[in-house]
Copies of this chain bind each other. A is one copy, B any other.
């Protein structure tokens, strides 16, 4: 007997006629690695998660409590699509401390900065439109553009981030139909490379954006996680010095890496015509970001705890990064190269002997250490010899031991 369930199981995927980017959807290759993370004794350099042992649990607990006790209705009712006015004021002050003058009305609160970029892509990119992306790049940004049907053109980077001269040459020689509409970059402690774009390159990028009328997307989740070197202002802070500059920079901030991702609080600072449309897109996306989360975030920001908390995280990340690099330097064979980042969560490494990082990963997992092969961060022709090491999650001792195991996997001992 054939049951209804059996019949149902036969309805093929094609029957639904999905929109083109969803016909053969690919999940995140990084998430595929998650099954190994929980293995006893595993030391993971794979995750892009902030360290859970550094969360300000008590401070956030007090913030959640104060938010709910002081105004339960604000936490429970629908809120403004653009965000709660009080949180927008707190975020405008935070932007002021980052060197960006803005009015709280300019801030759009988003459900993580992931939503911010997605909303921007929706307003700008029609299928076939061109978007520029630094390469290697944050995979979820690439994915947002793919799902929007964008023609993704990659921009070369070196250890200082985007190669602005190469970009300028590309843009000046642009002959394809359809000019690029946006350029996506994480200019400070980039994911995955850890690179930071120097000030002169930032200024050149703004001039290029104005000249070619390209929306320059500055994704800045890590900028306040500096533990070495000299601060560089956000691109947006430098944009005012270039006539028209402010009109072509969209900035995304996030509390995920500096407070807690579970709040899902990000924000966008965009030129008014763009911000207005992002708010329309947000009405459709989720009406508003969780007011409970927004109220909790606002109370936390207004408590004044963030500054000392940032010192705590940055200090811990400095130690962890240092231990990782020290062990790699000491134990790894000569055919691996890497740069020491000045902040953030990532070290980018390359196997100069041409070995495949995916093969090394298999040997690494046998030794109870993990990382993400660099292929995950490329749009097309992936550099199979690259790898990303996140030092956020392991303790300092684990980072050292993990790097020692990685060195062993690399050496074949």
Interface residues of A (CB under 8 A from B): 4, 7-8, 11, 13, 15-20, 22, 25-28, 49, 52, 55, 57, 60-61, 64-65, 68-69, 72-79, 111-112, 114-115, 118, 122-127, 129, 140, 143-144, 147, 181, 213, 215, 240, 243-247, 256, 260-264, 271, 273-274, 276-277, 279-281, 283-293, 296
Determine if A60 and B76 form an interchain contact, defined as CB atoms under 8 angstroms apart.
yes
Q: In angstroms, how far is the closest chain B Cβ from the Cβ of A211?
A: 13
List chain B residues, Cβ under 8 A from A296.
292
Q: In angstroms, how far is the closest chain B Cβ from the Cβ of A105?
A: 15
Report the bound CA distance from A273 to B274 in whole Å. Answer: 34
Report the bound CA distance from A213 to B13 in whole Å. Answer: 12
Q: A8-B246, A61-B72, A246-B8 are in contact. Are A262 and B292 (CB under 8 A)?
A: yes
Q: In angstroms, how far is the closest chain B Cβ from the Cβ of A102?
A: 13
Given contacts A4-B244, A52-B76, 19 further A-B contacts (CB under 8 A): A8-B271, A11-B271, A16-B124, A17-B124, A19-B122, A19-B129, A25-B280, A57-B72, A78-B261, A112-B286, A127-B127, A140-B284, A261-B287, A262-B291, A264-B289, A285-B286, A290-B293, A292-B296, A293-B293
Report the bound CA distance from A7 to B242 in whole Å. Answer: 11
List chain B residues, Cβ under 8 A from A261.
76-78, 287
Report the bound CA distance from A11 to B15 in whole Å. Answer: 46
Determine if A49 and B61 form an interchain contact, defined as CB atoms under 8 angstroms apart.
no
Of the residues B64, B73, B112, B287, contact of A140 by C-beta under 8 Å: B287
Determine if A243 and B7 form an interchain contact, defined as CB atoms under 8 angstroms apart.
yes
List chain B residues, Cβ under 8 A from A28.
283
Determine if A64 and B292 form an interchain contact, defined as CB atoms under 8 angstroms apart.
yes
Q: In angstroms, how far is the closest chain B Cβ from the Cβ of A120?
A: 10
Residue of A55, A118, A247, A286 contacting most chain B CB atoms (<10 Å): A286
List chain B residues, Cβ under 8 A from A55.
72-73, 76-77
Of the residues B124, B215, B262, B281, contact of A147 by C-beta under 8 Å: B281
Q: In angstroms, how far is the closest chain B Cβ from the Cβ of A365?
A: 22
Q: In angstroms, how far is the closest chain B Cβ from the Cβ of A322?
A: 24
List chain B residues, Cβ under 8 A from A78.
49, 256, 261-262
List chain B residues, Cβ under 8 A from A213.
15-16
Determine if A286 and B122 form an interchain contact, defined as CB atoms under 8 angstroms apart.
no
Of the residues B17, B27, B114, contact of A286 by C-beta under 8 Å: B114
Of the residues B74, B247, B262, B271, contact of A79 by C-beta under 8 Å: B262
Report the bound CA distance from A55 to B74 in whole Å. Answer: 11
List chain B residues, Cβ under 8 A from A74.
262
Q: A4-B243, A140-B283 are in contact. Are A52 and B73 (CB under 8 A)?
A: yes
Beta-carbon nearest neighbor of A110 in chain B? B286
Beta-carbon nearest neighbor of A116 in chain B? B286
Determine if A147 and B284 form an interchain contact, defined as CB atoms under 8 angstroms apart.
yes
Q: List 25 A-B contacts (CB under 8 A).
A: A4-B245, A7-B243, A11-B247, A16-B124, A19-B125, A27-B279, A27-B283, A55-B76, A61-B68, A64-B64, A64-B68, A74-B262, A75-B262, A76-B261, A77-B261, A77-B262, A78-B256, A111-B285, A143-B283, A147-B280, A263-B292, A264-B286, A264-B288, A290-B293, A292-B296
